[in-house]
Structure 1
Amino acid sequence: MIEILSPARLALARETGALVAEILHTMKERATVGTNLLEIDAWTKQMIGEAGATSCYVDYAPSFGRGPFGHHICTGVNDAVLHGLPHDRELADGDLLSLDLAVSLGGVAADAAISFVVGDTRDPADLALIEATERALEAGIAAAGPGARIGDLAHAIGTVLTQAGHEVNTDFGGHGIGSTMHQDPHVPNIGRPGRGFVLRPGLMLALEPWVMADTAELVTDADGWTLRSATGCRTAHTEHTVAITQDGVEVMTARRP
């Protein structure tokens, strides 16, 4: 299903997006050396509840997972890049942590992800990996707007990632979002311009470049959810929910001042 949101629904989406951004950045501030992944999940649950929102993950049970997910935020450490199931693990100095969060507020969902290094030890290769996904996301957003095609966004994202020296996995990518978290159209992280669905005002997309340092192959943990790099290399994941407007694009999950 491809959903086109009314102006009133987009106004609700701004509130959802602001909540997602605030929770993610609060968790980034709290994620220090010694923080347990289960603490991050508990803090996220508390903030979602206090806002009167609903987690999109707790009851999430797609065909590719061993559902339901049962937690409120995805926590990927080092080689874990997608669907990281929170577990009893304390963060160490130099860990590369990816947090992915989707919530629904007022019947409209928003989805975003950030990656960052915990503590004081910062490997330049980790920072470059994160920066590549951030630049790719910026390129994808810049390519969006009414009349653009999905392939234009995919091409913009993929060009940045491949020029940074990364292979691009096409099993998972961005997606439509609205009254539910995952909708059509699929937005791959690499593609050909001028192809695919034509973007129109009211469409919301979750754009999410993610890469693994030296592979494009994923493996699944025994938990049935956490996806890791097949080689054990570091990974990074960055995501925003954006809305197509009459004259451009609006980032719904940007943090408000």
Structure 2
Amino acid sequence: MATKELKRSKRVTSTAKKTAKTQPKSLAGFLVSDILVIILSILLMATYLNPSFMKSNLNDSTHMSNYINRQFVKLSNAVSNDQNQLSAKILNEEQVKDVMNDMIDYTSGIHNFRNNSLQISSEIKTTLINIIDDSSATKAKRIKVALQENDQTSQYAVLSAFDLDALTTLSNAVTLFWIVAIGILLIALILLVIILNRMRKSNLTWKLALKEFLSVVSSLGLILTILFMILAIVSSLFDFSNFIGEFAATVIQYTSYLSFNVVLVGVIMYVISTLPLALFKSTLTK
């Protein structure tokens, strides 16, 4: 009887030891996933959803300048019966920035859901009237006169030329992304506290704790590198204008360089953590 109890006790002890060894690895896996979610949520809110960031990065964009001028040519052809080539550049760089800022303010940042495009159409029309002055191109002056003379009609012409219904859809999508990103971030932060608390109670030695930390950094670096490399390649090679609108597609195409920057960060994280991790693994196995 005593022998059976002793064997049962040894099995329980052995199971407890195995659990103690595998628990840190399991927690480290959860930690990698949780930190990755936090990083991606913060990156999304700090870049594509942030109007200040978008303005500072798109102000000198040739892509955006060409896009705004292309839409303005469409407006010119609609309100003044001109037949300009879409590649024509009627607006100068400063005028392009003013129109672009209106569009970014309308789409990015935290705002309510919108149910029509007349607000942004009116804003862009007002901006065009204000920025076209005596020093502007002759064609631009003719468009200004047409916008002023046909108030109601010209507002719908602006809406159509700049594809503002798609811009409103994008604006509502951004609001939804903000809600989802904030909710996910809060949940991830709560989970992070829980995971770290459990890791603290698992009686890790400092060597094993450092090894798990390096493992987390290495895994995060590898995942970020692969994920954003795919995003950078896809955004550079494919045209999404038919699916998300020309403005959003132009923004994604231009800011694809951000993905390459994250790839660089991921590679650095992976390299600087992999070498010490290999050293610690060899130390722990001795």
More strand by share: 1
TM over 0.5: no
Q: TM-score range by the shorter chain?
A: under 0.3
